[in-house]
Homo-oligomer: A and B are copies of this chain.
Amino acid sequence: MQRLILDQDDFERRFTRIVNDRRESDPNIDHDVREIIQQVQTGGDDALRELTMRYDKHPLTADLASWRIGKDQCKAAYDFLDQPTRDALELAADRIRAFHERQLPKNSDWRDAANVRLGSRWSAVDAAGLYVPGGRASYPSSLLMNAIPAKVAGVGRLVVTTPTPRGMMNDLVLAAAHVCEVDEIWRIGGAQAIAALAYGTDRIRAVDVVTGPGNAYVAEAKRQLYGVVGIDMVAGPSEILVISDARSDPDWIAADLMSQAEHDPLAQSILITDDAGFADAVEDAIDVLGAQIETQRTALRSWEDHGVVIVVNDLEQDAPALANRLAAEHVELAVDDPDAMFAKIRHAGSVFLGRHTPEAVGDYIAGPNHVLPTGRRARFASGLSVLDFMKRTSFISLDAGSLAEIGPAATALADMEGLPAHAASVKVRL
């Protein structure tokens, strides 16, 4: 953890270093991933069999159950949950669905003054693939956050791929797949899963969009296959920026900072406050909470390596400018007038307004998507939405009259660009 004080000489230098620190491992795996993709593209199911044995020690056999997890298995996993957990999952799904239904875009169709008919029509992609990682990052909430926008968009075929190392499945993920009515679940992970989704094999039909988190191999495979399929934003380690005055409870703020830190040793928690004493109290509270939680090893490592406390003079004045430079994934505004501060914040993935809005409610239950731009990408990127599973077709319709009105300008521009067939296609109709 490091503390920066706005008034100190080295502030700008140190803050700039934090802004530029991407915290993203960039292992040299382009080549390995390219080989895996090529192997799946040419070898199909045989390649998947070989790679899944090599990386997951899971044999894909003639028995379809070794390849796919059935809907009955998902239902059984759901039925096995205790009632409060089941209710919580259903409430989360309902709230996420309600939020994303409001994102559905509207079609347009109008005539302008030149009697040209114009418009746009939105439609869902035919099929979407969701990657669900194995191990620590295998979260049922993540499946909800990826699958529900796809369903709301109207995607007809929703495919999940997930590694089942040594055959091991995550029952919570299966229960979530039941809630989201996933159509197919394939027991395949890594770059090979992304390649199978992008190119298709005899068993697995290709999809149009691939989303979902994954390790470095999965991320690199998505990057390489961008354009063959649509993908969501490349995601890095999670981060939170809490802007708090001294009137917040230090225990609340400490828990918020730790909730981000416990995700990943590379996660980053930043506090901006205008009160050094409050900062001390939060740090103390982190020591206390950190000693209690099972995830302490990860959380304290993240806090030690990447945690930042920034003490400014005037919170209203100083904090938004710093927040815009950080362009953080999550921004919590634990102040009396969060709206006034939010009005000054241009770059943030999601904003949590007021002291009673811990970031964790956004991870699970509030409704907005928890798949958000990390690593300063909120400067240009948005959270996952139904739009990631849809596309827009524009359309134009002219008649003889409207072509006579605007056509000559098109031929003038075509002539200027030296494209005579373009000009001819208008002139021949005039």
Interface residues of A (CB under 8 A from B): 30, 84-85, 87-89, 91-92, 95, 98-99, 102-103, 108, 112, 116-118, 120, 123, 125-126, 139-141, 172, 208-209, 223, 226-227, 229-230, 233-234, 249, 251-252, 255-256, 258-259, 261-263, 289, 292-295, 299, 338, 342, 345-369, 372-373, 375, 377-383, 385, 387, 391-400, 402-403, 406-410, 412-414, 416-426, 428-429
Q: Which residues of B contact A363 (CB under 8 A)?
A: 410, 414, 422
Tell me the bound Cα distance from A117 to B108 in angstroms: 29
- CB of A88 within 8 A of CB of B353, answer no
B365 touches A92 (CB 8 A): no
A381 to B388, CA, bound (A): 9
A193 CB to nearest chain B CB (Å): 18
**Bound complex: CA of A180 vs CA of B419, how far in Å?**
22
Does the CB pair A417–B295 fall under 8 Å? no
Known interface pairs A289-B421, A360-B422, A361-B403; A394-B368 also in contact (CB < 8 Å): yes
Beyond A118-B366, A350-B394, A361-B410, 14 extra complex contacts between A and B, CB < 8 Å: A30-B30, A84-B412, A87-B409, A88-B409, A140-B413, A259-B424, A262-B421, A294-B418, A359-B425, A360-B414, A361-B398, A362-B396, A364-B410, A365-B410
Q: Quote the shortest CB–CB distance from A61 to chain B (angstroms).
A: 30
A293 touches B409 (CB 8 A): no
Instruction: Find out whether the CB atom of A406 lies under 8 angstroms from the CB atom of B360.
Output: no
Q: Are A361 and B406 in contact (CB under 8 A)?
A: yes
Q: Are A426 and B208 in contact (CB under 8 A)?
A: no
- Interface residues of A: mostly helix, strand, loop or mixed? mixed
Q: Which residue of B lies closest to A412 (CB)?
A: B88
B353 touching A409 by the CB < 8 A rule?
Answer: no
Q: Which residues of B contact A403 (CB under 8 A)?
A: 356-358, 361
Residues of B within 8 A of A234 (CB): 226-227
Knowing A262-B419, A409-B87, A418-B295 are in contact, say whether A393-B425 is a contact too (CB < 8 A): no
Flag if A380 contacts B385 (CB, 8 Å): no
The residue among A209, A353, A369 with the most chain B CB atoms within 10 A of its own CB is A353
**A419-B262, A421-B255 in contact; A358/B429 too (CB < 8 A)?**
yes
